[in-house]
Chains A and B, each alone.
Chain A
Amino acid sequence: MAITNSYIQEKLTEKFGEQVTSFEETYDMLSFESPKEINLKVLQFLYDEPTLSFQFMTDLTAVHYPDQIGRELAVVYHMHNLVDNVRLRFKVFTDVNTPDVFTATKLFEAANWMERETYDFFGVNFVGHPNLKRVLNVDEMDYFPLRKEFPLEDQTRIDKDDEMFGRG
């Protein structure tokens, strides 16, 4: 029997009560969030609970929302139950000044590089990660390029002919 999104929601609320919030179903995928302190508990519960068994980590990434003060960075997990073929999206938010989130590497080897990539581009500090260093960018880099304050092109560059770029 395939499990439904409302069943997953029911199970999670039963276990975590008020702590799991913002349930919504967008484009058939259930999405919810929890405080960042319990992210591992939620992932472990999703993994262990026999009727849920979200045991495959499809994707882990982050999103930067500079306007949401206090919850600027969202770490997004995409989980997959391969047996019943159900996917879900789980988010934890953290503020950008203390971006500490517990690592999921103990549960999923797959999270290792994905967390390194997320650290590399967003500066999320995965507490407990065995080897949290940059993976795609150079080690000497001192900024996190996928954050929104980092411009794609430096608008003040003077080595380019402005007329050619519509800024004349």
Chain B
Amino acid sequence: MDHHVKLPEGSIERQTTTLNLGPTHPATHGVFQNILELDGERIVSSEQTVGYIHRAFEKLAERRPLYQITPITDRLNYCSSPINNMGWHITCEKLLKIKTPKRVDYLRVIIMELSRISDHLICNSIVGVDSGAYTGFLYVMQYRELIYEIYEEICGSRLTTNIGRVGGFERNFNATAFDKLEKFLREYPKVLKEFGDLFTRNRIFMDRLQNTGGISAERALNYGFTGPNLRAAGVDYDVRVHSPYSSYEDFEFSVPVGKTGDNYDRFLVRDQEMWQSLSIIEQAYKKVQAFKGAEAEVYHADVPEFYLPKKEDVYTKMEALIWHFKIIMGETAIPKGEVYQSVEGGNGELGFYFISDGGRTPYRLHFRRPCFIYYQAYGELTKNGMLSDAIMTMSSLNLIAGELDA
């Protein structure tokens, strides 16, 4: 028997609801506004508004010498600031034609892969949180903490790291840093395994993520996807492999790819990438340990025009003080030129398009921010899906407002 109330034809109009998701919403983990047209809980169409934390980094950079731009890059994807910092330093080195010693490259690789792990860890555990599983997030947080402690030993700060210099690092890694790295390598695999066990084959989690927010490889490429989001769609493009920087060609690792490009595949790709990163860190650490004698003390390239002198010399020696000021004020000559350098950031290809006119500051500096480019697809990814799936799509895309808005 039909229990539905029969209304006369034309007495009720089918209508959609407009819902503002954001700008500040606890489930979006950042400042994003989405104006959704909803039919019940189904999304008919959506419009994205961004720019709430726009800070005009590209304009600021036109007034800043090289070292003053490093802290700006911290604030792009702040879940993996060291990658941004090093990407910027590598860009400068490319323009200045500086060759960094192998040990510097390997140390950089260690730090960059640690940041990749911390970035993916946050993203994947947030996917868990948004689907109702808080435990994983709290559990892995102590290992992100350990990574931050390693940063602290090297550069003194944690989140916005401002790590390194043009040509290398500000100081050699101390024993504590290596001890903590060893502790990480020893304990983290078990944690990552448990974290995977908690989610990967969890029926509730799978049902929640599979077949939501999917994209085909063609569409993903057309939308300019890069990083784990592109690889989840089945394209094995990785900047570390295609255009190696910082001696990534010396390492053995594989590039995990997905198939459907949906939320579940994105989760799996990030999970597998963390294992690959772990293996890269192990290899890099072995290579670092293999340096003997004077070579084992190298932590920067010999470029006195761009590498800041030691602090104790700056305080006590006239020449060091002069160089310190010259470098900080950007009084050392930079060649004219245009250079594009990209690194594999936490969420995709982070590019720096640096135009120098030979002045103390960049004539123009443009950041290719992966987030900004792939967030365009959000409307297409969530169309005709449920509102609750749109939330999962947002967290599994790894959107970072700082990078999106620059």
Q: What is A's interface to B at a CB cutoff of 8 Å?
A: 26-27, 29, 31, 55-59, 61, 63-64, 76, 78, 82, 85, 87, 89, 108-110, 112-114, 117, 121, 134-138, 145-146, 150, 152
Contact = CB atoms under 8 A, between A and B. Distances in A.
B58 A136 contact: no
A152 B62 contact: yes
B221 interface: yes
A152 B60 CA distance: 7
Contact of B50 (A61, A78, A82, A135): A135
Nearest to A112: B376
A87 B243 CA distance: 10
B373 A110 contact: yes
Given A61-B366, A87-B340, A136-B50, 8 more contacts: A27-B94, A56-B221, A56-B224, A109-B219, A114-B224, A145-B59, A152-B60, A152-B63
A128 B292 CA distance: 62
Contacts of B95: 27
A64 B340 CA distance: 18
A2 B380 CA distance: 34
A57 B225 CA distance: 10
A82 B219 CA distance: 15
B59 A58 contact: no
Interface residues of B, number: 40
A63 B364 contact: yes
B349 A58 contact: yes
B235 interface: yes
Interface in B360-382: 363-364, 366, 368, 372-373, 375-377
Dominant SS among interface residues on chain A: mixed
Interface string B218-262: 010111100000000001010000110000000000000000000
B406 interface: yes
Nearest to A117: B372
Contacts of B222: 108-110
22 contacts: A27-B95, A27-B338, A27-B340, A31-B338, A57-B224, A58-B224, A58-B349, A59-B368, A61-B366, A63-B364, A78-B368, A82-B235, A87-B340, A89-B338, A109-B224, A110-B223, A117-B372, A134-B51, A136-B406, A137-B51, A138-B51, A152-B63
Nearest to B404: A136
A2 to B, nearest CB: 12
B405 interface: yes
Given A27-B339, A112-B376, A145-B59, A63 B355 contact: yes
B376 A109 contact: yes
Contacts of A108: 222, 224
Contact of B54 (A26, A58, A136): A136
Contacts of A137: 51, 54
A160 B373 CA distance: 38
Interface of B: 50-51, 54, 56, 58-60, 62-63, 94-95, 219, 221-224, 235, 237, 242-243, 337-340, 342, 349, 351, 353, 355, 363-364, 366, 368, 372-373, 375-377, 405-406
B242 A59 contact: no
Given A27-B337, A113-B373, A85 B243 contact: yes
Contacts of B54: 136-137
Contacts of A55: 221
Given A27-B339, A55-B221, A136 B51 contact: yes
B94 A85 contact: no
Nearest to A31: B338
Contacts of A112: 376
Nearest to B221: A56
A146 B58 contact: yes
Nearest to A107: B222
A86 B340 CA distance: 13
A78 B340 contact: yes
Contacts of B353: 59, 61, 76, 78
Contacts of A114: 224, 372-373
Contacts of A29: 340
Given A110-B222, A114-B373, A135 B351 contact: no
B340 to A, nearest CB: 6
Contacts of B364: 63-64
A109 B377 contact: yes
B224 A78 contact: no
A109 B337 CA distance: 30
Nearest to A121: B58
B244 to A, nearest CB: 11
